[in-house]
Structure 1
Amino acid sequence: MPAPRVTAKTKIFEFEIVLEEVQPPVRRRVQVPGEVNLAVLHEVVQSAMGWTNSHLHEFEIGGRRYGVPDPDWDGQQVTDEAKGKLFRLVKPGDRFGYLYDFGDNWTHQLTVEKIVSPEPGVRYPRCVSGQGACLPEDVGGPWGYEEFQAVAADPSHPEHDERLEWAGGQFDPHRFDLDEADRALEWLAWRPLTSLS
């Protein structure tokens, strides 16, 4: 039986995801099958970055907004993200936005760095590199995160212990564990593309 033909939709899209307006930098590099839709890419961003997927989100690609349409709100012009396939929407060099938590406004920029053939025996999606720890949810956006870091780094601050307890313990903004970030994507394993050559 001949191997399936590798097409644009079965190739692997490598993205750099950068969380904007925070220091130290927080970024992830992920590889995702081109045939997935934006709803799956949303799950990839959430899992690789370390977010808890507990807030609203949307993508903006080419001036068009993609997300989960709300039938009770006629005023929003949001295209259903489940209908937008990567291989139809983006190409190498494209940059687009992903907004998470409309209160804290975590703005991410995604860049399609390259498109490659799938490697035999490799599970996709996967995280191949990164930098920086995921931020605590509901910390108040970039400004709130800056304040949180200052309090967390100052044991004499009256709110030090309370903030660390709220964040789940000690917090190192530089911490990144590639194995942990990659394992977070295992539940999204797309149907095997590993037999492609």
Structure 2
Amino acid sequence: MSRQIFQLKVTLSDVTPPVWRRVLVPGGYTLDRLHRVFQLALGWQNYHLHSFDVDGVQYGEPDPDGELIVRDELEHRLDAVLGKGTRFRYVYDFGDWWEHEVTVEDIFGADPDERYPVCVVGERACPPEDCGGPFGYRTMLAALADPAHPEHDSTRRWLGRPFDPEEFDPHRASTLLRRLC
């Protein structure tokens, strides 16, 4: 029997135009590995906490202080908690609150000639870490787009690098993902 591959579409909520990725992930991956797939495919830096919400059940890294009640993501595989058509939420960075809507678009047998996980397509750059969530990101984009904006220069200095919100390369994302294998 061939391995099951989950085709997932991950869309960043409250960001327009949409930032999204389509990834192919082995069903045997645990949710902690799925978190790493999302981090690399989207372009996050894994600086912050995260959680999954699947049908009202929270998964993530257990809180040693017991303040955040989640099921241990290391103990739950995709093929045990997700099915075709399942929609769930992935939240990254509880301060900026980057919410992602995720849909299991398909489940199929692995192609023996393909290495998984892989990012097959997507659009737009991931927002920079710590830019203030969706509202801060909109403000940042407005400042970058207008050289006369009062925060244009300070925003460019804060970024410290060029930023093109339209840029995304699925091949680069797949190269990063293959390091998970």
TM-score class, shorter-chain normalisation, is over 0.9
User: Which SS does the other structure have where 2:142 is aligned?
Assistant: helix
Offset of residue 54 of structure 1: 0.1
Question: Helix, strand or coil for the counterpart of 2:179?
Answer: helix
Shift, 1:171, TM fit: 1.8
Which residue among 18, 25, 47 is the counterpart of 1:32?
Answer: 25
Q: Secondary structure at the match of 1:184?
A: helix
Consecutive unaligned residues of structure 2, counting only runs of 5 or more, are none
- What SS class does the counterpart of residue 119 from structure 2 fall into? strand
Q: Alpha-carbon deviation of 1:159? A: 2.5
- Residues 123-143 of structure 1: per-residue CA shift (max 9 Å, x gap): 100000000111011010111
Q: Tell me what 1:16 maps to.
A: 9
**CA distance in structure 1 between the aligned counterparts of 2:67 and 2:119, rounded to whole angstroms:** 36
Q: More deviation in 177-186 or 106-115? A: 177-186
The aligned counterpart of 2:126 is 134
Paired residues of 2:63 and 2:69 also in contact (CA < 8 A):
no
Counterpart contact for 2:7–2:106, Cα < 8 Å: yes
Structure 2: how far apart are the matches of 1:184 and 1:109? 22
The answer to whether the 8 A contact 2:51-2:90 is kept is: yes
Q: Which residue of 1 aligns with 2:74?
A: 82
Distance in 1, Cα, partners of 2:148 & 2:85: 47
Matches within 5 A, 1:24-63: 24-63=17-56
Question: Percent identity between the aligned chains?
Answer: 49
Contact 1:31/1:127, CA 8 A, preserved across alignment: yes
| RMSD over aligned Cα atoms | 1.1
* Counterpart in the other structure of 2:91: 99
Distance of aligned partners of 1:168 and 1:185 in 2 relative to their CA distance in 1, 3 Å threshold: farther
Q: Secondary structure at the match of 2:126?
A: coil
Quote how far apart the aligned CAs of 1:77 are: 1.7
In the alignment, is residue 125 of structure 1 matched against residue 117 of structure 2? Answer: yes
Q: 1:75 to 1:159 in 2, by over 3 A?
A: closer
Contact 2:5 2:110 in 1 (8 A): yes
Structure ID, larger Rg: 1
Number of aligned residue pairs: give it.
181
Give 3-state SS (helix, strand or coil) of 1:147's partner.
helix
Q: Does 1:113 align with 2:105?
A: yes
- With normalisation by structure 2, the TM-score equals 0.96
The reply to whether residue 71 of structure 1 matches residue 64 of structure 2 is yes
Mapped to 1, the partners of 2:126 and 2:78 lie a distance apart of 25
Q: 1:158 aligned to 2:146?
A: no
Under a length normalisation based on structure 1, what TM-score does the superposition of the two structures give? 0.89
Could you list the runs of 4 or more consecutive aligned residues of structure 1 that deviate by over 4 angstroms after TM superposition? Answer: none
Shift of 1:75: 3.5
Q: d(CA) in 1 for partners of 2:80 and 2:68?
A: 23
Task: Report the Cα offset of residue 174 of structure 1.
Answer: 1.4
Q: Is this contact kept in 2: 1:129–1:178, CA < 8 A?
A: yes
Stretches of structure 1 that go unaligned for 5 or more consecutive residues are: 190-197
